[in-house]
Amino acid sequence: MIRFSVNINKFATLRNARGGNNPDVIEAAINCERFGAQGITVHPRPDERHIRYDDVLKLKDVVKTEFNIEGYPDDRYLKLIERVKPAQATLVPDGPDVITSNAGWNTIQHKTFLQEIISTLKKSGARVSIFIDPSPQMAEGAAAIGADRIELYTEPYAREFKLNKEIAIKPYIETAFTAHRLGLGINAGHDLSLENLHYFAQNIPHLDEVSIGHAVVCDALYLGLENTIQVYLRQLKV
């Protein structure tokens, strides 16, 4: 079964735009789980422009499914993982000025740095996932540094899907086969949507989990949150 984790950052973006606590991101996480989500993902950034570190601490005692905390592994992130002890820590290479994730790690170039970070994170009990571009070489690098999983960066897939879905999916299939052969779990996320999710899930071997946020919130404006989550879950039945 492919697990569906809802990234709730955009609920926080909406809240922060007006001030106050509407929508309540803690309640949003509870409802996402109640409506069928099998995980909750957050990506706190240093400027707290959406999810705040305080939100993450509150979610620690609320999330009953799988809690996934994404982020660049600076000192603040490492301390947060140590304190919260989520099921999964997903490392992304974004600097503080990046609006949204736009590339994966070069696991060869940053081997020593990532190896030390992974060793530290595993002491908290978290499963460690490395955000990578669709490249068998990057998957090999992730395995060599002790990662448990990779997360495939799917924005290029989403962009090319509209032009030629067979070409769009090819490097992801190759990378997934390599990752599985090396004992890595396989996650995916970024710009997956109702338009392209089912084809991705059908074709990526050994896919464990997808995390989706922006598209879920957009679709929920028209379909309602409960119905949206159920529709996404149906796309993952392959």
Nearest to 178 by CA among 208, 210, 205: 205
Which helix (DSSP H) or strand (DSSP E) does residue 29 occupy? helix 25-34
114: left (phi over 0), alpha (psi -120 to 50) or beta: alpha
From the list 66, 151, 190, 209, the catalytic residue is 190
Query: What is the spatial distance between Cα 176 and Cα 207, in angstroms, rounded to a whole number?
Result: 8
Q: Confirm whether 43 is a catalytic residue.
A: yes
Contact 216, 231 (CB under 8 A): no
User: Rounded to an integer, what distance in angstroms lies between the CA atom of residue 102 and that of residue 123?
Assistant: 29
190 given a catalytic annotation: yes
- Provide the token pair at 123: 């002491």
**Spatial separation of the C-alpha atoms in residues 136 and 141, rounded to whole Å:** 9
**Rounded Cα–Cα distance for residues 46 and 133 (Å):** 24
Helix, strand, coil share of the chain (percent; to 5): 45, 15, 35
C-alpha angle 208-186-69 in degrees, rounded to nearest 5? 85
- The residue type at 77: Y
Which is the catalytic residue, given 43, 66, 151, 209?
Answer: 43
Catalytic residue among 33, 50, 66, 70: 70
Active site residues: 43, 70, 190
